[in-house]
Structure 1
């Protein structure tokens, strides 16, 4: 009796398992990372996380910038396939409206070393000639040490501070040993 029960249960169990997996597989739509060019989510260094303020006339991301563990101003930061921008501008992306809709809250991010400094490059998902580099550097202001978020691009640069008060006080100030343009 036990032998007959095992003989009937094994095929029945196998059939339920196969049907269940088949049903699951047909309901999950695979996501192709290459469709939008996104790779891994970028982790922002802890010392950059939080809200920073600037009153510099060249503050290219506005007077306030907020970094989360994986975001800048609420937009997710991903590594980006090196071909996605050229594919976009050369018309190789088949449905650009859908591409724009899906990626509108994405940023591109990576680590970059320039002139012996490590920067975190964070850019809009699709851009031409706009890039922003950030790094935290300690500076002494009025005898006290402060971490400053230095930003630079090809054309300008400046500082973000942890408080609005310090940002107003240091408006347009350039630290001597900081290279703001690359």
Structure 2
């Protein structure tokens, strides 16, 4: 009888230890893909902003291009996979941009963009798309030094909306954050 109890106790102990081992090994952290070569689907399409009291700006995102239209014409920047070491700037890559980190600020996801002349930890551009007051709004922010701040200009899906909301500010979408780097 004592032998049976010892065997049952030993089997129970082995089962518990094995169960903890299996449970512990089955939990793993999945690394999200951060170095992508496409713009998020919700960013793609044409956006308009009302600027300087009477000027409509236009910007288009495709799967891997950012096209900006201004008085000097059309400017295209091509999205590429970010290299481990940035190459020297040249004619070939002067219009290349890279998706860098994605960060959350005040509940909104901001997608980082770097140019060939920028190192990943220096000044960067960020875009975010949010549904605000019933409309899709593209926000633009800049990180430089110890400051991360959004621009006053917001982008909308039509020129009419851009003009209508030209002076609109959105809580938590318009911000300035100063980091203490000391």
TM-score using structure 2 length: 0.57
- Please give the residue correspondences for 1:21-170 in structure 2 after superposition, counting only pairs within 5 Å: 42-56=37-51, 63-73=57-67, 74-84=76-86, 93=88, 99-115=89-105, 116-127=107-118, 129-140=122-133, 145-153=134-142, 154-157=148-151, 158-170=153-165
Give 5+ residue unaligned stretches, structure 1. Answer: 1-39, 94-98
SS at match of 1:133: strand
SS at match of 1:165: helix
Q: Shift of residue 156 of structure 1?
A: 4.1
Q: Shift of residue 124 of structure 1?
A: 2.4
Asked if the contact 2:64–2:78 (Cα under 8 Å) also holds between the matched residues in 1, the reply is yes
Asked if the contact 2:78–2:96 (Cα under 8 Å) also holds between the matched residues in 1, the reply is yes
SS at match of 1:138: strand
Residue of structure 2 in register with 1:180 after alignment: 175
Q: Shift of residue 66 of structure 1?
A: 1.0
SS at match of 1:152: strand
Which structure is higher in helix share? 1
Q: Any idea what the Cα deviations from partners look like across 1:78-121, whole Å, max 9, x if unmatched?
A: 2323542xxx6xxxx5xxxxx41110221121341133532111
CA gap 1:133/1:81 in 2 versus in 1, 3 angstroms: same
Q: Any idea what the Cα deviations from partners look like across 1:10-30, whole Å, max 9, x if unmatched?
A: xxxxxxxxxxxxxxxxxxxxx
Runs of 4+ in 1 over 6 A off after TM superposition: none
Which structure is higher in strand share? 2
TM-score using structure 1 length: 0.57
Structure with greater contact order relative to length (CA < 8 Å, sep ≥ 6): 1
SS at match of 1:55: strand
CA gap 1:138/1:156 in 2 versus in 1, 3 angstroms: closer
CA gap 1:164/1:130 in 2 versus in 1, 3 angstroms: farther
